[in-house]
Amino acid sequence: MANDTLTITDNRTGKTYEIPVENDTIRAMDLRQIRVNEDDFGLMSYDPAFGNTASCKSKVTFIDGGKGILRYRGYPIEQLADNSSFLEVAYLLLYGELPTKEQYKEWQNGVVHHTIIHENIKKFIDGFRYDAHPMGMLLGTVGALSTFYPEAKEIFDEQSRELQIHRLIAKMPTIAAFCYRHRVGLPYVYPDNDLTYVGNFLNMMFRMTELKYKPNPVIEKAIDILFMLHADHEQNCSTNAMRNVGSSHADPYSSTAAAIGALYGPLHGGANEAVLIMLNQIGSKDKIPAFIKSVKAGETRLMGFGHRVYKAYDPRARIIKNKAHEVFEETGRNPLLDIALELEKIALEDDYFIKRRLYPNVDFYSGLIYQSMGLHPSMFTVMFAIPRTAGWLAQWKEMLSDDELKIARPRQVYLGAGERDYVPLDDR
Ligand code: CMC
């Protein structure tokens, strides 16, 4: 018997099956042969939240949740955060290698070339209610881009695919900033392509009457690092949405809109906004014990804590926590930081959190930084969506070149009624 197999005995029939093990996984399809009789459909695995199911093979991002390790294409996140830039990291995720000087210049120019959006997009952003949530506006607007670029449907045409990738990376900050300006009732600011990717984003967000916007270098650098940290995170809820929708051969704008929808939820990217709301609700350090009690009683969750994959300190949270102090030296200390630090201290010493291996995640401190930079909490998840677009597209591109690509179509365990006859309305 080969070593790299799994032997399964079906106690219902007494039959034994030998199933290959490859990359520490078995293929769920190999279970189908396990049947009690000829009419049996065959055995399936049941895993409603993908808790223990690999949905793809990927070379983009590696996470060891037990050890708190995160690597993009093999490079540790700490090294990238210290030495790289978001645009370089986006290139790395999308093309598999760090760019040479020449490749980087070409990539940067290619992205800059697409930062402007069609004037009609501005008009329909205008159509959103004055208080529309920026994530809702972002979702709708990115989805609508597919109507401006119908050739995006040609997903197997490499040239078209590359064009849409450049457009999406370039236009996300513009759309995000326009949604923000709409929300606060300020005129839209057009891209300034002399600035860096992040510098230009700050220009579109915050420029008032000055002729030339000069980004604060500390804030520009901090956002660049935050963007790198958020750029990819393997098969999370929104990336799975991107792959899932993309598997039907939908265009990348529609798939990205679906991913934005998934990110919006408070259990995913929406957690950074939820953390700020939570810290404000707690209000002062003396209220923390009562809050922790309500978390332990299951009445609420400690937002920004816990992760499906990390069962150790999220490495991104560690980098952000350290960065926060540098930003606060520039912007003034966010008064909510004291509540956050105390909350973290108490939670990390508490049995409830220790037993469940709940540690701060990427969203615990990022909102505090964004708020101190003057961003409204409704923009926090948008700040997650901009860089994650690079990861979504890298995973989408990888999926399209996978020779096992098929439309995603999960199975279900049907527990409903058996066949029954229709009863006319008058007889019910
Ligand atoms: N506060 C209190 N209890 C928690 C928390 C929390 N934040 N997270 C998990 N638990 C408990 C949960 O109640 C459960 O306890 P029990 O075993 O007694 O029922 C146990 O820990 C396991 O939780 P789970 O819900 O089965 O874990 P999951 O892997 O399905 O959920 C999570 C992961 C991130 C959705 C969850 O930890 C959570 O809701 N955290 C708060 C929201 C948050 O910060 N989300 C951002 C995640 S990181 C950024 C991103 O990738 O989007």
pLDDT digits (tens, 9 = 90+) for 373-412: 989 999 999 999 999 999 999 999 999 999 999 999 999 9
Q: How far is the CA of 310 from the centre of ligand 1 (A)?
A: 11
CB contact at 8 A, 84 and 228: yes
CB contact at 8 A, 279 and 379: no
Q: Which residues contact 186 (CB under 8 A, 6 or more apart)?
A: none
CB contact at 8 A, 135 and 379: no
Dump pLDDT digits (tens) for 250-261: 999 999 999 999
The predicted model scores a pTM of 0.94
**Mean confidence (pLDDT) of the chain:** 95
CB contact at 8 A, 269 and 381: yes
Q: How far is the CA of 1 from the centre of ligand 1 (A)?
A: 41
Q: How confident is the model at residue 333 (pLDDT cuts 50, 70, 90)?
A: confident
With the most atoms of ligand 1 within 8 angstroms of its CB, the residue from 237, 267, 351, 353 to mutate is: 267
Residues with CB under 6 A from ligand 1: 233, 236, 267-269, 271, 295, 301-308, 356, 358, 361-363
Tokens at 395, concatenated: 């995973």
Catalytic residue from among 30, 268, 350, 376:
268
Pairing of strands 15-20, 5-10: antiparallel
Among left, alpha and beta (phi > 0; psi -120 to 50; other), residue 118 is beta
CA 85 to chain centroid, in Å, comes to 19
Q: What is the reported pLDDT for 325?
A: 87
With the most atoms of ligand 1 within 8 angstroms of its CB, the residue from 235, 239, 275, 301 to mutate is: 301
Distance CA 29, CA 37 (A): 17
Strands (E) across 160-213 are located at none
Dump pLDDT digits (tens) for 206-215: 999 999 999 9
Q: How far is the CA of 327 from the centre of ligand 1 (A)?
A: 28
Catalytic residue from among 114, 166, 230, 307:
307
Q: How far is the CA of 372 from the centre of ligand 1 (A)?
A: 26
Task: Spell 385-408 as b/e; 16+ CB within 10 A means b.
Answer: bbbbbbbbbbbbbbbbeeeeeeee
Q: Which amino acid is it at 261?
A: G
Dump pLDDT digits (tens) for 161-197: 999 999 999 999 999 999 999 999 999 999 999 999 9
Tokens at 257, concatenated: 């809109």
Could you confirm whether 133 is annotated as catalytic? no
Could you confirm whether 307 is annotated as catalytic? yes
CA atoms within 13 A on the CB side of 117: 28
